[in-house]
A = this chain, B = another copy of it.
Amino acid sequence: MASDTDATADLATVVNLADFEQLARVAMEPTAFDYYAGGASDELTLDDNPRAWQRWRLRPRILVDVSQVNTTASLLGAQTVLPVGIAPMAFQHLAHESAEPAMAAAAARQGVVFCLSTMSSRSMEEVARAADKAGGGPRWFQLYVHRDRARSADLVRRAAAAGYGAIVLTVDLPVAGRRERDSRNQLPYPEAYGNFELPAANAKGGTLPVVIGGLNDSALSWADLAWLRELTALPLVIKGILTAEDAALAVEHGADGVWVSNHGGRQLDRTSATADVLADLVGAVAGRAEVYVDGGIRRATDVLIALAMGARAVFIGRPLAFALAAAGEYGAIRALDIVAAELRNDMALLGVTRLDRLGGEYLVRG
């Protein structure tokens, strides 16, 4: 792909995940960049997410034989090369024309979980084919429950058929957050809906809150989980939990995974940074489900901190979107290479050779 080749040259200057943001700022339409980079309201939670990881300090142990470090993890029974996944992000064609198929292929090649958004710009079947062509590996399907339940049921069935290994139910978007950059940019809602036809009633007006308001079911409640459980035998992950109370409820309602998330600061502003609540939620889950977390991950050091707090894996969003923007699949591969290299380096320097050895004793509040 010509544009990839061109962009690839730029990656010579890339040293860490943050570097991709500057490249993406150049590569993307400004309004599309803002759509990805921005958050809700004053963006306080957006800004706090990465800083919250940085408030912790590591306690490295010395004179440990670190000639071999093992970065593998197991998520819902599947083995991954890294304790990392790619968070669901809508409309990835806004980042790069190669979009979700390229991102899924990068995940497959690098051995990390790929989680596809309901709002993918390409169909889940096309994405699955691209991933399989790149070697396969665990992929999950993120679900928004629409008012029209039949449509949602259809999505779940298609996901299972296309080899997606878990349903990730997002519960923090009963209505769309107030993303003021998009309002100022008068961002029209994208027209690429890879997974379904946008109902005609929703196609008009066209701003994000209007479209979401027409699709998503803001009446969704715990009682509806039974419907979902009946629909599919796939493991169920609930994404967007920020309180210990809800983490416990999720487990009691049969969730296999609890995904701690504030939607990247894009929904309710002034929710806690995920790093500030993760340990509490791990305590509430008490080993009855796997715990994942996203929000502000910019370094493998953040990943290690999350794992030391009890997360099973960490999902990365914006940095991978920006890497995709910078150089398509190659950019995402490169970004994951950096995460892997940082992780191996951090583990050796922390004196930890296996991820399941990590625990709170490696952390101290900075």
Task: Pick the interface stretch among A26-34, A79-87, A119-127, A176-184.
Answer: A176-184
Instruction: Give every chain B residue within 8 A of A245 (Cβ-Cβ).
Output: 61
Q: Is the CB of B301 within 8 A of A269?
A: yes
Q: Mark A36-56, 1 if CB is under 8 A from B, else 0.
A: 000001101000100000101
A72 on interface, CB distance cutoff 8 Å: no
Residue pair B268, A63 in contact (C-beta under 8 Å): no
For window 317-366 of A, CB contacts with B under 8 Å fall at 341-342, 345-346, 348-350, 364, 366
**Given the complex of chains A and B, what is the CA–CA distance between A224 and B67 in angstroms?**
14
Are A345 and B13 neighbours in the complex by a CB distance under 8 Å? Answer: no
Interface range for A? 35 or more
**B242 close to A59 (CB less than 8 A):** yes
Q: Is A16 positioned at the interface, with any CB of B under 8 Å from its CB? A: yes
Known contacts A180-B16, A301-B41; is-contact A267 B349 (Cβ 8 Å): yes
* Contacting pair A62 B268 (CB below 8 A): no
> How many chain copies?
4
Task: Say yes or no: A270-B348 contact (C-beta < 8 A), given A63-B222, A241-B62.
Answer: no
Residues of A at the B interface (CB closer than 8 Å) are 13, 15-16, 41-42, 44, 48, 54, 56-67, 171-172, 174-175, 177-178, 180, 183-184, 217-222, 224-225, 238, 240-243, 245-246, 249, 267-272, 276, 299, 301, 341-342, 345-346, 348-350, 364, 366
Provide 26 A-B residue pairs closer than 8 Å at the C-beta atoms, listed in order of the A residue: A13-B184, A15-B180, A15-B183, A15-B184, A54-B270, A57-B276, A58-B272, A59-B242, A60-B243, A60-B271, A62-B238, A62-B241, A62-B246, A63-B220, A63-B224, A65-B219, A65-B220, A66-B174, A67-B217, A175-B349, A218-B348, A268-B350, A270-B366, A272-B364, A272-B366, A276-B366
